[in-house]
């Protein structure tokens, strides 16, 4: 079924500090993260109740839901991604967020007993990151988020330190240890994080460094000059990602701080995916041209374009660069075109890399609605020494003034319907077979166009196979005692540890509308004993996507943190 999700999630935000005590993996190519909330009395109150007393004026901004939402958006499975430029460092791929949990009372009590002059030291936090009293191992990377009344020391090898929020400029850190997850420590004390923007900057900083230098032997100098440290105080400053302020990090390839996908000043940006494939096109000595139209569902506006970025992802064959093997791009629009030559600037674009290039705009301003597409052109010679280039993905990031009116082709936006996660959310055993999650009434009356289920597993997989009891059944509960039943959603396959799987939900005759879904039931039939399969569900989330026009919903029911519903009023 769904395997153990998370024992304890601990994310330690490190600003320029890494654990230098041990030799960890150089980089984390496929990071999997969870948030663990640490506060003194989890058995008697919630994180939100505790924060309401300590940060009464902005407790809602520092709620578990708000911090989780940022972490999810930071690691959202979208392309282009905030993390794409890190691929140059030994193939680091964007990490994934697997939800959150609250540290157990026993784990917190043990850590609090180990304070030094009232301050929790890094080695205690290291132990806390791996605390799994009930046998539920934590995720491979954890973000520990500490309540304001828990003082955190900075990392001092072979010693102890005072409260980092009052005795140093460090505002968070990350570390590594033997037989522990990579961990990040994030404070919510106002001296370290006076605003929510401060915590989003620290988390993004530390996550980038955790995956590129988890143990001080990756990209940095024994914990110094790590990728995010090199951009601290940069004239570029932080940037914006999916509505949040985040820190940039260093790119050796670009010789600057990345990512650089933000809109032009005073504008908003929209990403238009033009195409993707494996490859989308292979350019050779005989194939030189690819024309891609703009997508049908996009913002069409009379607003003037202020910036157009082309983002590409190279597949399994690089673009060589040099004097001959380069690519040009023509921006096509109503009444003409504009050429941008040598978009790779003569440089090699390696396999798997994503690159963003600002395209030239004509002197006479264009409207957003004028864009019709792009044409990518190469001039490879062919033959024995000629180049080939696999292009897997292409997108435009189009900027235009905020507040512009748009047409009926406005793309969907995302709303949250349900967000539930735990450590684990549920552990299915020979005695525990069912879990029901209630879905609140949101977007009432809007037609559902599509419904998907996302299943996330934790550290104990779903075995699957020919025995029906070793598989997972899903029931979507609807109003009027209706239901949609899906047996064996894993189709007999094993759902591995720390993995996500999407299941399409068939809609009943006559369809369903927002408010019709009242709950989701997960069922397993493990028999128990020596042959039992034990699994855990890590996260579950419902999110509606809305394009703010037609009364329709493209609903994606996620059993990971996301249940997406694409809504059109």
The answer to whether the beta carbons of residues 207 and 34 sit under 8 Å apart is no
Considering the domain architecture, whether residues 104 and 253 belong to the same structural domain is answered as yes
* Enclosing H/E stretch for 85: none
Classify 165 as helix, strand or coil: helix
- Residue 483 within a domain: yes
The answer to whether the beta carbons of residues 284 and 397 sit under 8 Å apart is no
pLDDT tens per residue, range 80-139: 999 999 999 999 999 999 989 999 999 999 999 999 999 999 999 999 999 876 656 778
Classify 97 as helix, strand or coil: strand
Share of the chain above pLDDT 90, in %: 58
Q: What is the mean pLDDT of residues 450-456?
A: 77
Which pLDDT band holds residue 25 (cuts at 50, 70, 90)?
low
Considering the domain architecture, whether residues 216 and 282 belong to the same structural domain is answered as no
Alpha-carbon distances, residue 439 vs 271, 385, 446, 479 (angstroms): 30, 60, 15, 11
Q: What is the mean pLDDT of residues 409-422?
A: 66
Considering the domain architecture, whether residues 34 and 155 belong to the same structural domain is answered as yes
- Residue 34 within a domain: yes
Considering the domain architecture, whether residues 134 and 162 belong to the same structural domain is answered as yes
Residue 238 has pLDDT above 60, yes or no: yes
Share of the chain above pLDDT 70, in %: 84
The answer to whether the beta carbons of residues 463 and 533 sit under 8 Å apart is yes
What domain count does the chain have? 3
- Residue 485 within a domain: yes
Residue 168 has pLDDT above 50, yes or no: yes
The rounded distance, in Å, linking the Cα atoms of 414 and 428 is: 31
pLDDT at position 427:
84
DSSP string, 282-305: EE-SS--EEEEEPPSSS---SSBP
Considering the domain architecture, whether residues 224 and 272 belong to the same structural domain is answered as no
Residue 453 has pLDDT above 60, yes or no: yes
pLDDT at position 94:
97
**CATH code assigned at 295:** 2.60.120
Alpha-carbon distances, residue 117 vs 6, 123, 153, 435, 487 (angstroms): 31, 15, 10, 44, 56
- Residue 5 within a domain: no
Classify 448 as helix, strand or coil: strand
Considering the domain architecture, whether residues 506 and 429 belong to the same structural domain is answered as yes
Considering the domain architecture, whether residues 130 and 226 belong to the same structural domain is answered as yes
Considering the domain architecture, whether residues 422 and 382 belong to the same structural domain is answered as no
- Return the closest-CA partner of residue 148 out of 207, 195, 193, 101: 193
> Residue holding tokens 């699957």?
464
Output b/e per residue, 4-34; b: 16+ Cβ within 10 A. Answer: bbbbbbbbbbbbbbbbbbeebebbbeebbbb
What is the domain range of residue 551?
A: 413-568
Which pLDDT band holds residue 532 (cuts at 50, 70, 90)?
very low
- Residue 22 within a domain: no
Listed residues 258, 277, 300: the one ending a domain? 258
Considering the domain architecture, whether residues 251 and 343 belong to the same structural domain is answered as no
pLDDT tens per residue, range 77-87: 999 999 999 99
Considering the domain architecture, whether residues 49 and 182 belong to the same structural domain is answered as yes
Considering the domain architecture, whether residues 60 and 200 belong to the same structural domain is answered as yes
Considering the domain architecture, whether residues 237 and 280 belong to the same structural domain is answered as no
Cα angle, residue 110 at apex, residues 105 and 113 outer, rounded to 5°:
120
Of 149 and 537, the structure prediction assigns the larger pLDDT to 149
- Residue 273 within a domain: yes
Listed residues 372, 401, 430: the one ending a domain? 401
pLDDT tens per residue, range 480-526: 999 999 999 888 988 888 888 877 888 889 888 888 989 989 898 88
Distance separating the N- and C-terminal Cα atoms of the chain: 36
- Residue 25 within a domain: no
pLDDT at position 413:
53
The rounded distance, in Å, linking the Cα atoms of 138 and 492 is: 26
Residue 17 has pLDDT above 60, yes or no: no
Listed residues 241, 258, 275: the one ending a domain? 258
Which pLDDT band holds residue 528 (cuts at 50, 70, 90)?
low
- Residue 47 within a domain: yes
- Return the closest-CA partner of residue 453 out of 415, 418, 494, 422: 418
> Residue holding tokens 């600003």?
15
């Amino acid at each position: 079924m769904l395997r153990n999700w998370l024992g304890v999630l601990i994310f330690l935000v490190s600003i320029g500090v890494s654990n230098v005590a041990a030799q960890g993996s150089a980089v984390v190519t496929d990071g999997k993260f969870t948030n663990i909330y640490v506060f003194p009395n989890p058995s008697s109150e919630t994180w939100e109740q505790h924060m309401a007393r300590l940060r009464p004026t902005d407790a809602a901004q520092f709620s578990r839901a708000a911090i989780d939402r940022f972490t999810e958006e930071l690691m959202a499975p979208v392309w282009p991604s905030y993390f794409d430029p890190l691929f140059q460092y030994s193939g680091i791929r964007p990490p994934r967020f697997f939800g959150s949990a609250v540290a157990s009372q026993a784990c917190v009590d043990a850590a609090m007993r180990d304070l030094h002059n009232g301050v929790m030291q890094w080695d205690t936090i290291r132990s806390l990151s791996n605390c799994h009293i009930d046998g539920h191992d934590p995720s491979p990377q954890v973000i520990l988020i500490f309540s304001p009344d828990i003082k955190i020391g900075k990392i001092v090898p072979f010693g102890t330190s005072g409260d980092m929020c009052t005795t140093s400029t460090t505002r968070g850190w990350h570390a590594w240890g033997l037989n522990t997850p990579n961990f990040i420590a994030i404070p919510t004390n106002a001296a370290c994080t006076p605003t929510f923007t401060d915590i989003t900057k620290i988390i993004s900083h530390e996550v980038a460094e955790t995956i590129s230098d988890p143990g001080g032997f990756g990209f940095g100098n024994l914990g110094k000059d790590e990728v995010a440290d090199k951009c601290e105080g940069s004239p570029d400053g932080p940037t914006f990602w999916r509505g949040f302020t985040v820190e940039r990090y260093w790119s050796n390839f670009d010789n600057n701080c990345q990512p650089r996908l933000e809109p032009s000043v005073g504008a908003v940006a929209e990403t238009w995916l033009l195409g993707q494939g494996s490859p989308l096109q292979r350019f050779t000595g005989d194939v030189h041209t690819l024309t891609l139209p703009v997508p049908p569902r996009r913002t069409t506006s009379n607003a003037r374009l202020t910036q157009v970025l082309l983002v590409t992802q190279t597949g399994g064959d690089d673009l060589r660069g040099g004097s001959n093997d380069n690519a040009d791009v023509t921006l096509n629009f109503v009444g003409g075109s504009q050429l941008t030559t040598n978009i790779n600037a003569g440089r090699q674009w390696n396999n798997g890399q994503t690159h963003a290039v600002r395209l030239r705009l004509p002197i006479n301003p264009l409207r957003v609605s004028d864009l019709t597409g792009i044409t990518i052109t190469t001039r490879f010679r062919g033959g024995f020494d000629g180049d080939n280039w696999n292009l897997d993905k292409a997108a435009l990031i189009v900027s235009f003034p905020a507040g512009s009116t748009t047409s009926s082709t406005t793309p969907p936006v995302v709303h949250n319907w349900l967000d539930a996660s735990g450590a684990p959310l549920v552990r299915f055993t020979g005695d525990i077979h069912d879990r029901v999650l209630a879905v609140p009434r949101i977007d009432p009356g809007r037609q559902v166009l599509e419904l998907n289920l996302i299943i996330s597993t934790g550290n104990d997989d779903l075995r699957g196979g020919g025995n029906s009891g070793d598989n997972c059944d899903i029931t979507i509960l609807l109003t009027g005692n209706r239901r949609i039943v899906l047996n064996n959603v894993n189709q007999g396959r094993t759902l591995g540890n720390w993995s996500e799987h999407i299941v399409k939900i068939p809609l009943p005759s006559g369809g369903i509308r927002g408010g019709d879904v009242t709950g989701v039931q997960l069922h397993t039939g493990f028999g128990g004993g020596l042959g039992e399969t034990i699994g855990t569900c890590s996260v579950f989330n419902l999110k509606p996507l809305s394009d703010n026009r037609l009364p329709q919903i493209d609903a994606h029911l996620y059993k990971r943190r996301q249940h997406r519903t694409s809504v059109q009023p």
